[in-house]
């Protein structure tokens, strides 16, 4: 994590991690992250809020651990780097997006507890196992994957943001 391209995000998982494997067998998972910012308007004294949405990409063991451990609604801390990816659609249109490639990932313990289960180390020739324990996070006894009701006072993000459906505010 050098060259000035380091990002630290704390937010809520907006969709369960999707685990896939490359043609060479490398695990990768992606999930959405909503990061809220809240401030007081100096003129009106009202609290205002904005939400930014990010796609987070994990590789290898972290990808498998994230897929097993995280669920929509979990509050996590992500450190990583911003990376731009470009591709061409079947119609020939050029597309690009900026993603966060995670270097480290963990549960936020501000309002939740977590049990950490260390994975056994394996050699480079041993195959990856899809089901491994990572963080088992729970919020005062209830799983973090449980949906919380959207707070009143504002509309929930719509399905138009990046093609993903966000039917409630993620906090």
Contact 45, 30 (CB under 8 A): no
pTM: 0.64
Q: Are 13 and 33 in contact (CB under 8 A)?
A: yes
Q: Is there a contact between 169 and 154 (Cβ–Cβ < 8 Å)?
A: yes
> CA distances (Å), 139 to each of 44, 73, 81, 94, 115, in order?
35, 11, 28, 42, 11
What architecture is the 7-143 domain classified under in CATH?
Beta Barrel (2.40)
Give DSSP secondary structure letters for 50-103. EEEEEEEEEEHHHHHHHHHH--TT-EEEEEEEEEEEEEE-TTS-EEEEEEEEEE
pLDDT tens-digit series, residues 75-113: 999 999 999 999 999 999 999 999 999 999 999 998 888
Residues 30-76 have pLDDT tens digits of: 999 999 999 999 999 999 999 999 999 999 999 999 999 999 999 99
Evaluate the CA torsion angle 61, 65, 67, 71 in order and state its sign. negative
E runs forming strands in 93-146: 94-107, 113-116, 135-139, 142-143
Tell me if 53 sits within 8 A of 33, measured CB to CB.
Answer: yes
User: What are the extents of the domains in the chain?
Assistant: 7-143
């Amino acid at each position: 994590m050098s060259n000035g391209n380091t990002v630290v995000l704390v937010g809520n998982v907006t969709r369960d991690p999707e685990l896939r494997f490359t043609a060479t067998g490398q695990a990768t998972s992606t999930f959405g992250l909503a990061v809220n910012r809240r401030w007081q308007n100096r003129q009106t004294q009202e609290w205002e809020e904005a939400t930014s949405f990010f796609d987070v990409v994990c590789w290898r063991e972290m990808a498998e651990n994230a897929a097993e451990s995280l669920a929509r609604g979990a509050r996590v801390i992500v450190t990583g780097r911003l990376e731009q990816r470009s591709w061409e659609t079947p119609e020939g249109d050029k597309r690009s997006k900026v993603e966060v490639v995670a270097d480290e990932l963990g549960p936020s313990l501000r309002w939740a507890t977590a049990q950490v289960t260390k994975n056994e180390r394996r050699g480079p020739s041993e195959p990856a196992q899809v089901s491994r324990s990572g963080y088992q996070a729970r919020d005062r006894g209830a799983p973090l994957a449980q949906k919380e009701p959207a707070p009143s006072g504002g509309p929930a993000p719509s399905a138009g943001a990046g093609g993903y459906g966000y039917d409630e505010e993620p906090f």
